[in-house]
Structures are given as structure tokens and as C-alpha cells.
Structure 1
């Protein structure tokens, strides 16, 4: 039996409040289309969508959920027929597959994409739908390394960027009590090496690896401070307009919504999704930015939490 922490209760209450707001017949017509990205949506397999924010806005790519072995191919399908060079990716993710995130990050980098953290919402109004970005998004685990892939990288002060060690996903729930073979250790060491090479290729700092690899799976995720975000090179600009540029007199989407304009469920502090903590056996070629053929991983088999099956 688990004791619920105050943060767990608060998250549940917020989620319930969001559902009530959506279901209420008296809700205002100018409400929000998706009332924030709920915690569970960030733990589902990653989905990509193009957000058209109007004639005076350049639009952006919304990337929500965990990276699975299918994510690189799904991004290629999404990108087909679209001009995404220099586009912005708005991330809201609990992490996912180490090697597949590296492949996806290299693809973002090759396209010269810009990255930020936030939650995409759509407001219904008499003049039509209006898309905005709520800055209180979450980027955890391997999502942090997707953030690092951006040509320009902006993290709003309200966002939560959290790191930890990579781990074998099927043993993350009780890492201390689990047993590990020499082959398991080889996989972890190999993927740490791949992650290190990727970090430096993206212009990241060794401080990011040091901070991440110092947090064991039985500890809460470490949330990076504003100072650490700059120290690790996860932030390259303090101007939101550098990643969400506007045309004419339009205001910046990330600054549009008042704090009470959207009801959204929050991720509980220190949450540690099992699918985030593993080093998988997916094939990945560092010199090739195109998606590699990947085996299915532990996290891909159990995207919503719980103990994952062993990697195939």
C-alpha cells in the first residue's frame, strides 16, 4: 500500500477540476479546447501536430508524450509534405527511449528546428479558434535531450525541466532490489556513451551529463534551476520571440494567456515514470540523422506506467 503525498492529492484534485470544467453545461463558450495536457497524456506515446495560430503567427509543432521506438518514423510521416526547416517544436513530455530520442533529436537538429517547453491550448472565441502556448509545461528525462537539439532553445520560467540517470526500464520500480547481468551493464554503458556524444554534438555541456547521471532511479528527478539551464546550454536565448516569432503587431503566443485562462492538470513533483529510466537496445547510427530501424523497447510496451516487459 502506498501513502499519497500532498502533491499526489493536489494533482488528482486539479485533474478532477479540469474534467468538471469541461463537462459543465455552464462553461463559457470561449473556453479552452484541450484544458492543458494532462499528466497521463505526457506518458502516452509521442504525437506530433502542426498548430496554425493565424495569419500573423508562424505556427509550431506540438510534440506531446514519451518517445517510443515508433516516434522517429511517425515524425517522418508527420513531416512529409510539410516545410519544417527552422520550425519550432513545443515539447511537453515525460521522456522515453534513449536511442530513439537521440535519433529524433538529430532529425530536429538537421532541420534547424527551434525548441521550447510548454503546453499548446486552443481558445474558442467568436472570431474563431486561437492557439497559444501555456509556459507551464514539463520536459523530463530524454525530453531534455530533445530540447537540446534546437538551433535556438528557450525555457520559460514557469516550465519544469527535470533530469535523472538512464536505467533498465523493467527494473526501475525497485532498482535497488533488482539484479543485473554483465550484459545489462554493457547496454547502460554503451548508451551513456551515445548520450555523451550526442550531447556534445548538439552543443550541450558536460554539466548536463553530470547532473543527469548523478540522480539514481530511487531519488526524485532533479529540476534544473534557471542557472543550471544556462550552465548546461539548454537555454540559448532569454527571448521567447526567438523561438516563437510573430509577424506584424501580433503578440507572442506564450505570453497571451492569463494564469487563470486555462485549467490544467499538473505533474506531481518528482514523478518517475518507469518508461523514462532505461537504456534500450535500439540500433542508432550517430553519423546518420535519419531515423534508424529500432527494436521495440521496454518503455514502448508499457507507455502508461507500471512494470515494463523485457526488451525484445
Structure 2
């Protein structure tokens, strides 16, 4: 649905389109989420959903990506963009991460398209002039989401957004990682996927500090939230100017009245599916089990003959 006089809202307080930078009264309702906080948390645990945000004449449209990356997400993105020219567009992320290999595949696809990335919540701001599409910084980009953020040709993280990282782990044992047992096959899978993640990180122009910070945080510790200095050191941020990712925006201190902050994303949301292993690996395995946020595909080894 096309909205008249749409604006972009973003940044430390908010950022909006040039001549619409007055205060925006009324509740800003998330486009991709139910109005309630509990509904919002539930949606963010679901497989990633893509929404086209129409910004009309005064700013560039963007794509909202909310939820967990699963084995179906890369195809879902291709289906969503079929017949559309998305080259150079911006992806606005609000995600707890998901499947390692599928997040890597999706990130490589985004880089091929020259997409830009940022973190935020897409909303509709109710104003006297009508509804305005907007992006608020109250959002979370956790675990593998940080590496999807890295795929952007240009990358911006506003003050108020949260980028958090931790180790990849065997998904079915992340809830009680210390008490779980691990086989040589399990270690092979983890080390293989760390290698894939390292190659992807450097291919995307990320710094070694990103891998160091992420791989230093085990699943029994709280996720590490990257500071502004760390976002720079890891090369997750390439610009401090919102207009580089959402053309038409500029800084403003105008508040949006009535906004409700969102609860912190659960660390390991349920319902995320594992990525299928590459052919050479899948030939050695029988099944791939469900993987929670930031996990590694859990491949069960072939049954041994008695």
C-alpha cells in the first residue's frame, strides 16, 4: 500500500526525511509485529519474514527482515524479491540470528545484490498528516545476525540498536552446553563451520576482531554487546550517516510520542531450523536436527553396524 508523504525516522533520537522533521504525535505501530510486547517477542522467534516498506516520493523504499534464519530463508528471500529490482536497496534487520550456514548463504546473496544493511524496527508513525513509514533504532541484531549485517556493501548501526555476539554451538546442546557430551563428529562439524564463518567474514571485509569477540563467548555466558568502538574495530560499521543507507534521512531530536520499547530477545528462540550441510558433508550424515539461534547444524552420524 502506498503512503502519501512518507518519512524515514532513525538514529540516536530519531532521523527523518528533510522537511518532515517535526514531532510525530501518536503511537508508532510496528509494521511486522503485533502491537503487544508479548506478540512482538513471539514474532521475532519465528522464521525470518521480509516486508517491502514503501516510502513513497520522499525517501528510498527498504526491506524489513525480522526473525530467525532457517533452512528456508534464502529461498524465501529469492521468492520475495522475484520480479523486483532490489539492487542497492537497504535491509533493516531485527533478528536473533539462526542457522549458521543459511545465514552465510543469505549474506553472500545480499552482497551479490549490492544491498546495504542496518539495524532497526520498521514502524508506521501516526501523524496529523497521515501514516509515515519509519525506522526506529530499538532493535536487536544478535548472533548470526551480526554476520548478515556484515554482508551490506554499506553498514550503519544507530545509537540505541543492540548488536550482540557469541560462539556458534551444537544447537541441540546449547541450553545445557556444559553438561552435554560431544563426539569427534560433533567437533568436526563445529570446526568446519567456524572455518566457513571465518572465510565468509574476511570475504565480506570484516575484521578478525569480530571472530575473536564472538568465539570468546560460550553459550553459558551472556551475549557480548558490541560497543561503538568495537563496531568500528570489527568493520561492522562503515558509515555514521543514516542517509548512506536510507537516502533522504537526516538527524533530528524530534521524539515519537507513545512508543513502547521491546523486550530483549530470548537468546535461543525456538522454531529455527538447521541448514542442510554441504553435499560432501551430507553424504556422511543421516539427519539434520533443529538449530536454535547461533547454533551449528547438528548432523547425526550414520548408525554403526553392531
TM-score range, shorter chain: 0.7 to 0.9
Distance 1:131 1:257, change over 3 A: farther
SS of the residue aligned with 1:43? coil
2:41 is aligned to 39
Which residue of the other structure, out of 269, 272, 282, is the alignment partner of 2:267?
Answer: 272
Structure 1 residues 167 and 156, CA, compared in 2 at 3 Å: closer, same or farther?
A: same
Take 1:284 and 1:230, find their aligned partners in 2: how far apart are those partners? Answer: 36
> Do the aligned partners of 1:99 and 1:284 also contact (CA within 8 Å) in 2?
no
Aligned to 1:152: 154
| Count of aligned positions | 264
Residue 265 of structure 2 is aligned to residue 263 of structure 1: no
Q: Structure 2 vs 1, CA of residues 151 and 226 (structure 1 numbering), >3 Å: closer, same or farther?
A: same
Return the structure number with greater strand share: 2
CA contact (8 A) 2:68 2:97 kept: yes
Can you give the 5+ residue segments of structure 1 that lack an aligned partner in the other structure? Answer: 1-28, 286-294
Q: In 2 relative to 1, CA 196–141 (structure 1 residues): closer, same or farther, beyond 3 Å? A: same
> Cα distance, 1:122 vs. partner?
0.7
Counting only pairs closer than 5 Å after superposition, residues 106-145 of structure 1 correspond to structure 2 as: 106-145=108-147
> Any conservation in 2 of the 1:96–1:276 contact (CA below 8 Å)?
no
CA contact (8 A) 2:137 2:161 kept: yes
Q: Measure how far apart 1:39 and its partner are.
A: 2.5
Q: What are the within-5 Å matches in structure 2 for residues 1-312 of structure 1?
A: 30-34=26-30, 35=35, 38-246=40-248, 251-252=249-250, 258=255, 260-267=257-264, 271-273=266-268, 281-283=276-278, 297-299=289-291
Counterpart Cα distance in 2 of 1:199 and 1:309: 19
Superposition RMSD on alpha carbons, in Å?
3.0
Q: Which runs of 5+ in 2 are unaligned?
A: 1-24, 281-286, 301-306
Is the 8 Å Cα contact of residues 170 and 274 (structure 1) preserved in structure 2?
no
User: What TM-score comes out, normalization by structure 1 length?
Assistant: 0.77
